[in-house]
Structure 1
Amino acid sequence: MYGWQHFKTITSHRFRVMCYCFRIGLYWQGLTHDLSKYSWTEFSKGRKYWQGTRSPNNAEREDTGVSLSWLHHKGRNKHHFEYWIDYGINCDTVIQGVPMPRKYVAEMIMDRISASRTYLGKGYTDQAPYEYYMKGKDHLWFVHEQTKAQLEQLLGMLAGKGEKETLRYIKDTFLKEG
């Protein structure tokens, strides 16, 4: 059991996200980001499957075939696009993605930067969050096209123009446009 290590990892990650959210003006989201990770449902699985180099949800999924921690988490945290799925009406799909509000897209970017920094450590580059997204992009059929375009724009900007300019753009333009 790796309870203390898991606690340090999620707390470090939350602190990073909080700092990034504060930099772009999302104070409440920074304070409340990922609080569900401290619930017994999520924390108990995290301490059991903690490895320090990737999400314990993947290890739980590999071990049991499903991540109960992830199912709990995604339903309570609006910065995950899996939260923004609804039944389709008058369309060809049973479920479909709906557009995410910009403040949650921005929080997701802060989350992805922070997760990459947490798990990659000194190996982090501003390209890492974009590369991680692109690696799994083909499996995101359920994400609304507008949300995908926004993620790709912001992660691409991060990869190409760096953190400082991207955070400035998110704060001064992206969040004010929506």
Structure 2
Amino acid sequence: MGNKVSNFIGHFKTITNHKLLVMKYCFKVGLYKQGILHDLSKYTWVEFSAGVKYYKGTVSPNGIQKIKEGYSKAWLHHKGRNKHHFEYWIDYGLKEEEGLKGMKMPLNYVVEMFIDRMCASKNYLKDKYRDNSPLEYYDARKEYYVMDEGTRSLLEYLLNMLSERGEILTLRYIKEILNNSNDKLLY
């Protein structure tokens, strides 16, 4: 019983800390609604219960659920409800021979995806976090991502900017892009 209680508390703290971090950074760039609504599905039963069951505190419980059960019902639920995940935007191409492909994400969701990755690294790595941490995590997995090339390009640009120029300049750049863009697909 004690393990379930500590997992419940630990998981709740982890997802809430992540949500508050993302909200803080979304607010900094002007994405107020997205900051407030970010990852609310993590508090639904299907996602939260898996999070408690597979809680470790240093990695996502969804990956552990995939190993133990063969798939993660929590992840399938999560990525289908959160537009800041590139997986949400995977669909069949317009031509039959294209098969599944990544669709171009609106700019505001690419920015939220960038912020989500930065904050996930901060949340899990804690004092080991460096501005290049989100880029290193991305680089280790990017060859498996089904993502629109424009979306990929912008995400990589932002991750590299964070790594090379730091958080303050990257967030200032993002805010300027968002404030000067009428077209949310402009990139």
The TM-score bracket by the shorter chain reads: over 0.9
In structure 2, what is the Cα distance between the partners aligned to 1:83 and 1:134? 20
The match for 1:146 among 144, 147, 150 is 150
Q: Look up the match of 1:94.
A: 99
Structure 1 runs of 4+ aligned residues shifted over 6 Å read none
Equivalent pairs counted in the alignment come to: 177
CA distance 1:129–1:106, change in 2 (3 Å): same
In structure 1, what is the Cα distance between the partners aligned to 2:177 and 2:76? 33
- Is the CA contact (8 Å cut-off) linking 1:18 and 1:30 kept in structure 2? yes
Q: 2:95 is paired with a residue of what secondary structure?
A: coil
Q: Tell me the CA shift for residue 94 of structure 1.
A: 1.7
Q: Indicate the RMSD between aligned Cα atoms, in angstroms.
A: 1.0
Matches within 5 A, 1:12-161: 12-140=17-145, 142-161=146-165
Are 1:10 and 2:4 an aligned pair? no
In structure 1, what is the Cα distance between the partners aligned to 2:77 and 2:177? 33
Structure 1: runs of 5+ lacking an equivalent: none
In structure 1, what is the Cα distance between the partners aligned to 2:142 and 2:97? 21
In structure 2, what is the Cα distance between the partners aligned to 1:111 and 1:7? 17
Counterpart residue identity of residue 78, structure 2: H
In structure 1, what is the Cα distance between the partners aligned to 2:128 and 2:114? 18
Q: In the TM superposition, what whole-angstrom CA distance separates every residue of 1:36-85 from its partner, at most 9, and x where no partner exists?
A: 00000100000000100010001101111101100000000000000001
**TM-score normalized by the length of structure 2:** 0.92
In structure 1, what is the Cα distance between the partners aligned to 2:179 and 2:8? 37
**TM-score normalized by the length of structure 1:** 0.97
In structure 1, what is the Cα distance between the partners aligned to 2:154 and 2:177? 13
In structure 1, what is the Cα distance between the partners aligned to 2:63 and 2:169? 32
Counterpart residue identity of residue 170, structure 2: T
Task: Give the fraction of aligned pairs with identical amino acids, expressed as a percent.
Answer: 52
Q: 1:113 is paired with a residue of what secondary structure?
A: helix
Q: Look up the match of 2:176.
A: 172
Q: Tell me the CA shift for residue 16 of structure 1.
A: 0.2
In structure 2, what is the Cα distance between the partners aligned to 1:173 and 1:75? 27
Counterpart residue identity of residue 39, structure 1: T
In structure 2, what is the Cα distance between the partners aligned to 1:122 and 1:175? 32
